[in-house]
């Protein structure tokens, strides 16, 4: 008989209850091996639609299909056992109506076994957030710089530089919180605005390029590992994975060329 206790995943209510408590640690992850490492330290792991750019070389997140999110979501859930896994709803899968959003969110949750979904938008998405949460789909909201709207916004621009725009962002934050979102990503936002929003809503705010005033932080894993040669300016780079991969590949190429390669006996241990 096994004496090992199963490790329970961090739940949506546990994340919601961290408001104003110990900062929430989160990172993106798109694949099983990296997710298994991140799982040891993160409260939640986001399978972000940034995977379109990071994993698939797309120019923006707009072209990411639902099936791709589901495929990477499955990999991350399989690779982890502790963190809450949140999967992004890609552009075009939730904006049309609450019913369409529910159908696609239910597919994501059933097929990946993730614990929640994330979608972009403030006031305009409040009705959909309420519809989903009332039907068993926990929703993380995302406001400020919303990459899926980059064509409308004219690129990736820090939000809130102009104080006159603050009330609109604050209204967005209150609307998604009142609609039942359990957490709120604030992306690319000036510090005083992020601080004001964090004070005004009773759900945790998760910052990315939005200062340390938030209740938690998220970064794109490949950016903070040093794999992206041009990471956003706000990213603190903690590793040099790009350099390490380059050195390893170079050493391998030299070994192959000089026939310094494992003998057949050593290949499968």
Q: Which C-beta is closer to ligand KIV: that of 109 or that of 208?
A: 208
CB of 185 to ligand KIV, least distance (A): 5
Q: Which C-beta is closer to ligand KIV: that of 58 or that of 241?
A: 58
DSSP output for 156-199 = S--B-SSGGGHHHHHHHHHHHHHTT-SEEEEESB-HHHHHHHHH
Q: Which C-beta is closer to ligand KIV: that of 10 or that of 185?
A: 185
Among candidate residues 120, 170, 187, 213, the one labeled active-site is: 187
Q: Which C-beta is closer to ligand KIV: that of 30 or that of 131?
A: 30
CB of 188 to ligand KIV, least distance (A): 9
C-alpha closest to that of 117 among 143, 136, 99: 136
CB of 57 to ligand KIV, least distance (A): 15
| Beta strands per DSSP E along the chain | 24-28, 44-47, 84-88, 116-120, 139-144, 183-187, 205-208, 216-219
Q: Which C-beta is closer to ligand KIV: that of 185 or that of 214?
A: 185
Task: Please tell me the distance from the alpha carbon of residue 175 to that of residue 177, in angstroms, as a whole number.
Answer: 5
Known active-site residue 168: no
Q: 224 with 239: CB under 8 angstroms?
A: yes
C-alpha closest to that of 46 among 148, 158, 140, 157: 140
Which residue is nearest to ligand KIV, using beta carbons? 48
Residue with token string 């604030």 = 186
CB of 33 to ligand KIV, least distance (A): 18
Residues of this chain that interact with ligand KIV (CB under 6 A) are: 28, 46, 48-50, 88, 142, 185, 187, 208, 218, 220
Task: Supply angle C-alpha 124, 52, 128, rounded to 5.
Answer: 20
Task: Please tell me the distance from the alpha carbon of residue 3 to that of residue 133, in angstroms, as a whole number.
Answer: 36
CB of 148 to ligand KIV, least distance (A): 9
| Residues assigned a catalytic role | 187
């Amino acid at each position: 008989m096994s004496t090992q206790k199963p490790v329970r995943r961090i739940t949506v209510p546990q994340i919601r209850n961290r408001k104003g408590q110990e900062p929430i640690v989160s990172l993106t992850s798109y694949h099983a091996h990296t997710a298994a490492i991140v799982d040891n330290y993160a409260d939640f792991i986001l399978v972000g639609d940034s995977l379109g750019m990071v994993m698939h070389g797309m120019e923006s997140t707009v072209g990411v299909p639902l099936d791709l999110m589901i495929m990477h979501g499955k990999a991350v859930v399989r690779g982890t056992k502790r963190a809450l896994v949140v999967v992004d709803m890609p552009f075009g899968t939730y904006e049309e109506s609450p019913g369409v959003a529910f159908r696609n969110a239910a597919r994501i949750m059933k097929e990946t076994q993730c614990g929640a979904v994330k979608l972009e938008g403030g006031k305009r998405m409040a009705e959909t957030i309420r519809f989903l949460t009332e039907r068993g789909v926990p929703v993380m909201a995302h406001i400020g710089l919303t990459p899926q709207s980059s064509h409308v916004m004219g690129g990736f621009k820090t939000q809130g530089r102009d104080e006159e725009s603050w009330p609109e962002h604050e209204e967005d934050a209150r609307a998604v919180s009142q609609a039942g979102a359990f957490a709120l990503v604030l992306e690319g936002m000036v510090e005083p605005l992020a601080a004001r929003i964090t004070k005004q809503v009773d759900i945790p705010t998760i910052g990315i390029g939005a200062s340390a005033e938030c209740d938690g932080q998220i970064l794109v894993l490949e950016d903070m590992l040093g794999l992206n040669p041009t990471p956003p300016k706000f990213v603190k780079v903690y590793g040099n994975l790009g350099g390490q991969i380059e050195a390893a590949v170079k050493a391998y190429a030299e070994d192959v060329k000089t026939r310094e390669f494992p003998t057949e006996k050593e290949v499968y241990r």
